[in-house]
Structures are given as C-alpha cells and as structure tokens.
Amino acid sequence: MTIKVGDTMPSGTMHTMTADGPNEVSAAELFGGKKVVLFSVPGAFTPTCSAKHLPGFVQNADAIKGKGVDTIACMAVNDAFVMGAWGDHQSVGDKVLMLADGAAEYSTALGLELDLTGVAFGMRGKRFSLLVNDGVVEQVNVDEDGFSSTSAETMIEQLG
C-alpha cells in the first residue's frame, strides 16, 4: 500500500556516509519531532537526478528551511558510498542529507518501489517527495513519468 497524507512514516533504516564510514539512520531518528522534506530519485548520478532534481533542492535549501523545514533528505537505492560520492560531486554540503536505501527496503515500506529490472537497474524507488511533520505525512508527490511534481519549487509552493 502506498503511503498517503495522514499516514505515519514506517519504521526502518537507511544509511548515510560519514567521515568514519556508513552510519545507520532510523526513520524514528530522522522524522521524530522534526519537519522533514524527503525526496527520492531512481538513482545517483543519473541524468535528470543529477541535472535537475538534487540541484534544485540544493539551490533552494535556504528557501525550504526558511519555511520551517528542519531537514531536507535525498534518498536513492544506492549504497552509502555512492550517495556520499554523489553528494560530494553535487556540492550538497550540509544542505541535503544523502540517504542510501541500499536494498530498496524503505522505498518498499513506503509502497513507492519501482521495478526497473527490465532495463538492468533492478529494484529502485520512484521519483517522489514527501513532507513529513513529526513522523506524519502532510504531502505526497509522485512522478510516474518525467519530472514535475516532485521538484524543490513544487515543495516550496506546497509549504506556502
């Protein structure tokens, strides 16, 4: 079942890269007591994700955080090493938390997994964005094809 407005975020873990190596991040830790924008891309270093999706959130991080958002997080079905390298390549700094959902477990828990085995990508996460307030979903945007409703600009409009 796909996550929807009013639902509580599922439990689970993701990983982020630190100076000491991969670090586990629980959903409870990420979403508890905070307003979080979580967006997901089908894969690090892929064309639209690298040219538009992630850069949009990096460029608009101050505007988004200025609307009361504590954390902006980017998730992809890649390992923490790849997500860390992509974050470095995109100069995200501390603007966007780069989260690895290595086996698509969290994407699947959200009901937002994407089977791209037919094009040799394996299981991935759909392109989506969520606004989560203290673990409760306030906004769900999913792009089934292309890139429009999950952009940073759309999230800024939705934040008011």
Is 2 a member of any domain?
no
Domain count, the chain: 1
CATH number of the domain where residue 86 is located? 3.40.30.10
> 152 is in which domain, residue-wise?
32-70+80-159
What confidence score (pLDDT) does residue 77 get?
Answer: 95
Catalytic residues: 49
Is 21 a member of any domain?
no
Instruction: Count CB-CB contacts under 10 A for residue 64.
Output: 21
Residue in the block written with tokens 């938390």: 97
Is 110 a member of any domain?
yes
Is 16 a member of any domain?
no
DSSP 145: S
What confidence score (pLDDT) does residue 48 get?
Answer: 82
Please give the helix or strand (H or E) that residue 48 lies within, else none: helix 47-48
pLDDT tens, position by position, for the chain (160 residues)?
899 999 999 999 999 999 999 999 999 999 999 999 999 998 899 878 888 899 999 999 999 999 999 999 999 999 999 999 999 999 999 999 999 999 999 999 999 998 777 776 768 789 999 999 999 999 999 998 778 899 999 999 999 8
Rg (CA), the chain: 14
What confidence score (pLDDT) does residue 95 get?
Answer: 98
What confidence score (pLDDT) does residue 56 get?
Answer: 96
Residue in the block written with tokens 């997994």: 113
Is 6 a member of any domain?
no
Residue from 73, 81, 90, 77 nearest 18 by CA: 81
Token output for 50: 């690298």
What confidence score (pLDDT) does residue 11 get?
Answer: 98
Is 14 a member of any domain?
no
Is 9 a member of any domain?
no
